[in-house]
Structure 1
Amino acid sequence: MHCLSYFVKLRPNVRHFSAISSYNIFDSKTKRLQREVAIDLDDNQKYDYLKDEIAYRVVDRVYDIKRHFPLVVDFGSQKGLIAKNLSNETYDTLICCDSSHKCLQRIEGLDGIETISVVIDEEEGLPFRDNSIDLVISSLSMHWINDLPKAFAQIHRCLKSDGVFIGAMFGGQTLFELRSSLQMAEQEREGGFGPHVSPFITAQDMGSLLTRSGYNLITVDTDEIKVNYPTIFELMYDLKGMAENNALVNRKSLLRRDSLLASAAIYQTLYGNTDGSIAATFQIFYFIGWKPDPSHRKPLERGSAQFSLKDIPNLDKILKDTENKS
C-alpha cells in the first residue's frame, strides 16, 4: 500500500490556512461529538436512509462524467456512504476526510482499491498541495461549515486543472415545518423563540459561491424529498440519529416540555397527513463546478450572435433563406 504523500504532498504548515471567522454560527466541536455519539448507537445504520439516498444520487452524477479519476477526496465523509456507493472503476485512490477519527475508523473501502483516512478540520480546508486532486465529493456535510467561501476556495486550490467538485447540501426549505412549529409554540408559551433548526444556503448563494471561488461550467439543481413520520418526536429522534441535531452556537440549552407538546400539536394541525402522520421536507441542492482548463468551451463574444430571440418564431424561414443564399 502506498503512503498518502506518494499521491498528495501535504503542505508543511497546515495552520497557515487557518482563519477563524469573525462570527461563528455553528459549534464545530459539538457537531463532531454529535456525530461520534450517533455512530456509537447500536442501530446507527437504520438512520442512514436519507443520507444514503443522497450519497447515491451524488455518486450517480459522478457516473455521468465518463472519465476515470485517479485521486478522489471525500470531503466530510462521516460514515463513508460515498465510499460505499462508488465503483472501483471510477478511481484508484480515495481519501476520506473528516473531523472525527472515530467516524473514519468505521469506513469500509472497496476490495483492491486504496482508501486513506485523514483527520481534518473542515473549517481550515484541505491540507493538500495545489493542483493535486482529480475529484472532490461532498455529501451533506458542508452545511455545518462556518466559512463556506473559504472551504469552496480551498477545494478549488487543491483541484487539478479540469478537476471537478461535486456535492450536495441541504437547502433553505429543509425542515421548514419543524422550524415554524417550534417557533409558534415557543412564542405562544414563552413569549419568544430560540433557534432550533440551522440556517441553510439558497440556490442563488450556491451558484454565487461557486462562481466567486473560481469554478466554471457550474450546474446547480434542486431536489425535494418528503419523509413521513408518526409524530414530531420520531422526526427529532431520527435527526439525532443522523447527527443532524442542533449545533448552533447560540442554541437553547433545553426545550421546555410544554413547548414541545404544543409544537407537536401545531405540526400535526398544519402539516399532518390524512392518516395521522406528519411530513418533513428535505430540500437538496446538487452542484457541479469545474476548475478552469484551456480545453473547456468558452462563451462567444458579445455581439457575435447571428439571430435574435425575437426571430425564433420565424427561425425555419430564416435558416431556409440562409441555405438558399449559400
Structure 2
Amino acid sequence: MPILSIFEKMFLRSLSQKFNSPYIKNIKNYATTAKQQPEPSVYMVFNREMKRIQRDRASMDVENSRQVDYLKDEVAYRIVDRLLDIKRKFNTIVDLGSGCGHIIKHVDKDMMKRLMMCDMSSKMLERDRFVDYDVEVERIVVDEESLPFEENSLEAVLSNLSLHWVNDLLGTMIQIRKSLKPDGVFIASMFGGDTLFELRTSMQLAELEREGGISPRVSPMTEVRDVGSLLSRAGFTLTTIDIDDITVNFPSMFELMNDLRTMGENNAVLTRRPFLKRDTMISASAIYQELYGNSESIPATFQIIYMIGWKPDISQPKPLTRGSGQTSLKEIFEGDKGGKVDN
C-alpha cells in the first residue's frame, strides 16, 4: 500500500466528511477487494460445452458414426478383458463417458446384471437405443466433472477414452473413489501424451511456415508418468498402469481428421483458433506424408493408457511390517550365484 502524504490524508478526510465515509472506504479498499475475489481452483483447458456440441453432431450421422467406432470398440474390448481378471459378478457397473456404447458390445450377463451408460451427450447415448444387448442397459446424461452418484454406492466404474477431455482429472478421480463401495474397482483408458504426435508435428511445422506461429491444433494429453500420481492422490490403492500403442493407417491426413471429427474427437481447446487456412492444411498434409508416410498411406499413432485402482478396504492385502521377513535376500542372491543348474 502506498504511503499517503499529509495533504492526501487531509483531502480524503474532507471527502469523507462531505460525501459520507462508506464511499471513501469503498474507494480505498477497491484494490484489496479485487485481490480477494475467489480464483478458479482448476486451470480450464477444454471447452466442455463445445465438446458436448461436437459429440452431439458426431452422433447425428448414424451410419458414418458407426463406421468410426473401430478404435473405441477395440480399446473397450481390452478394458473388458481386464475386468474379466476380477473373479466377481457385479450387479451394476457404471460406464462413465460411454459414448454411443462401446463397452456394452463386449459384456454379457455372466459378468454383470446391468450396465449404466453415462455420457455428457444425450444424442450419443440414444444413437443405438434400439439395439438389444445381453445385459440390462440404463442411459443417464452425466458430466464427468460433476458426478451424481451417492457415496459408497457403486461396485465398479469403467471409463473408455473419455477422461482426456476432463479439465479437473484429479477431482473426477476423487469423485469416482468416493462413489465406489469399499473394495470397489475403477478401470479406465485414456489417450496418452504421444497420441497423434505425427499430426501435431506436421500441423506445427505447417503453421510455422505459413503463418509464422503455432496454435494448439491437437489437444494436450496426460503423460503416463503422471497417471500413477493422480490415482494415488485421489485415494486409490493397488494401482496398475500400462500402455498400448495402436497405429491406424489412413490414405492421407484429411481422412484422419475426418474420422476424428466423426468420432467427436476434434479439437476443443479453449485457446484454439476458430479456423484453419486452406494452404496451411495442404502444407501440413505434404509434411505429414514426407515425414511419416509411404507410397500408400500415412500412420496415426494412438497411445492408450490403461489404469486400475481400488477403493481402500480392510480386506485388501497389506504389506508386511518392516523387519518381519524370515528370509535374507542376501542369502538368496548368494545362493543363485553359487548354485548349479540341473539338466
Same fold, judged at TM 0.5 (above)? yes
1:102 aligned residue: 123
Whether 1:147 and 2:168 are equivalent positions in the alignment is: yes
2:266 aligned residue: 245
1:89 aligned residue: 110
Deviates more, 1:97-106 or 1:219-228: 97-106
User: What does the per-residue CA deviation read over 1:247-295, in whole Å, with 9 as the maximum and x for residues that have no partner?
Assistant: 001111111111111111111111113x331111000001110111111
Whether 1:314 and 2:331 are equivalent positions in the alignment is: no
Whether 1:220 and 2:203 are equivalent positions in the alignment is: no
Which of residues 306, 309, 312 is equivalent to 1:292?
312
CA contact (8 A) 1:21 1:146 kept: no
1:315 shift after superposition: 3.4
Structure-1 separation of matches of 2:136 and 2:273: 43
Matches within 5 A, 1:111-150: 111=133, 113-124=135-146, 126-150=147-171
1:23 shift after superposition: 2.7
Structure-2 separation of matches of 1:269 and 1:310: 55
User: What does the per-residue CA deviation read over 1:53-77, in whole Å, with 9 as the maximum and x for residues that have no partner?
Assistant: 0011111111111111112101011
1:262 aligned residue: 283
Q: Which has the larger radius of gyration?
A: 2
CA contact (8 A) 2:107 2:135 kept: no
Say if 1:237 and 1:155 are closer, same or farther in 2 by CA, change over 3 A.
same
Structure-1 separation of matches of 2:236 and 2:254: 41
User: What does the per-residue CA deviation read over 1:291-311, in whole Å, with 9 as the maximum and x for residues that have no partner?
Assistant: 111111111223344556555
Amino acid at match of 1:192: G
2:44 aligned residue: 24
Structure-1 separation of matches of 2:172 and 2:320: 31
2:298 aligned residue: 278
Amino acid at match of 2:307: F
Which of residues 218, 226, 229 is equivalent to 1:205?
226
1:4 aligned residue: none
Gaps of 5+ in 1: 1-18, 320-326
Structure-2 separation of matches of 1:20 and 1:291: 28
Partner SS state of residue 139, structure 2 = strand
Amino acid at match of 1:115: V
1:87 shift after superposition: 1.3
Structure-1 separation of matches of 2:161 and 2:150: 25
Say if 1:311 and 1:271 are closer, same or farther in 2 by CA, change over 3 A.
farther
Whether 1:40 and 2:60 are equivalent positions in the alignment is: yes
User: What does the per-residue CA deviation read over 1:94-137, in whole Å, with 9 as the maximum and x for residues that have no partner?
Assistant: 2111111112222457557332111122221x211111100100
Structure-1 separation of matches of 2:197 and 2:288: 11
Q: Identity across aligned pairs (percent)?
A: 52
Whether 1:160 and 2:192 are equivalent positions in the alignment is: no
* C-alpha RMSD of the superposition: 2.1
Whether 1:77 and 2:111 are equivalent positions in the alignment is: no
User: What does the per-residue CA deviation read over 1:160-195, in whole Å, with 9 as the maximum and x for residues that have no partner?
Assistant: 011000010000000000001100110111110100
Structure-2 separation of matches of 1:49 and 1:311: 52
Say if 1:84 and 1:20 are closer, same or farther in 2 by CA, change over 3 A.
farther
Partner SS state of residue 214, structure 2 = coil
Whether 1:301 and 2:330 are equivalent positions in the alignment is: no
| Number of positions where the alignment pairs a residue of Structure 1 with one of Structure 2 | 300
Say if 1:113 and 1:279 are closer, same or farther in 2 by CA, change over 3 A.
closer
2:75 aligned residue: 54
CA contact (8 A) 1:78 1:103 kept: yes
CA contact (8 A) 2:240 2:309 kept: yes
When the two structures are superposed, what TM-score results if normalisation uses the length of structure 1?
0.87
Say if 1:20 and 1:70 are closer, same or farther in 2 by CA, change over 3 A.
farther
Say if 1:292 and 1:86 are closer, same or farther in 2 by CA, change over 3 A.
same
1:7 aligned residue: none
Partner SS state of residue 50, structure 2 = helix
When the two structures are superposed, what TM-score results if normalisation uses the length of structure 2?
0.83
Structure-2 separation of matches of 1:317 and 1:139: 46
Say if 1:84 and 1:61 are closer, same or farther in 2 by CA, change over 3 A.
same
